[in-house]
Amino acid sequence: MNLDDYRRPSPARLRLYLSLLLMLVLTAIVGRRRDGDLGTVETLKRSSFARIMFMDIGALSTLGALYLVLNGKSRVRVPAAVASLAVGSFSLLPALAYEDWKAMQETESGKQTAEG
């Protein structure tokens, strides 16, 4: 598997971000509560694994927010990073996709200027 397409902004990386966002949104919409479901609070009370995973999600959201603030170049980076601390990937994935799209547009515009 060649991962070079994902090292810098590219259509492949943009598709990855948007696919992950689509799966996240579909899971939120379709993944309704089922019979026998304990619910979030009860699950966190009963399961140390669930508590660790919940903390892991917070840690990853914080790292994603930090990455976005430090490496982002657009105006959306700071508001999206702050929002990702509350809503996680619902904010982070679109912001990362926007950053890549913007970088791809600037690269394309630079190529056209050099050719013209």
pLDDT digits (tens, 9 = 90+) for 10-21: 999 999 999 999
| 5: Cβ contacts below 8 Å, ≥ 6 apart | 12, 13
End-to-end Cα distance, the chain: 37
Residue 37 has pLDDT above 80, yes or no: no
Residue 110 has pLDDT above 90, yes or no: no
Query: Comparing C-alpha atoms, which of 99, 88, 87, 86 is closest to residue 64?
Result: 88
> d(Cα 114, Cα 103) in Å, to the nearest integer?
16
Output the pTM of the full model.
0.83
Residue 111 has pLDDT above 90, yes or no: no
State both tokens at 61: 């959201």
pLDDT attached to residue 19: 97
> d(Cα 63, Cα 77) in Å, to the nearest integer?
13
pLDDT attached to residue 5: 86
Alpha-helical runs (H) found in 31-88: 40-46, 48-71, 77-87
Are 91 and 80 spatial neighbours (Cβ–Cβ below 8 Å)? yes
Residue 36 has pLDDT above 80, yes or no: no
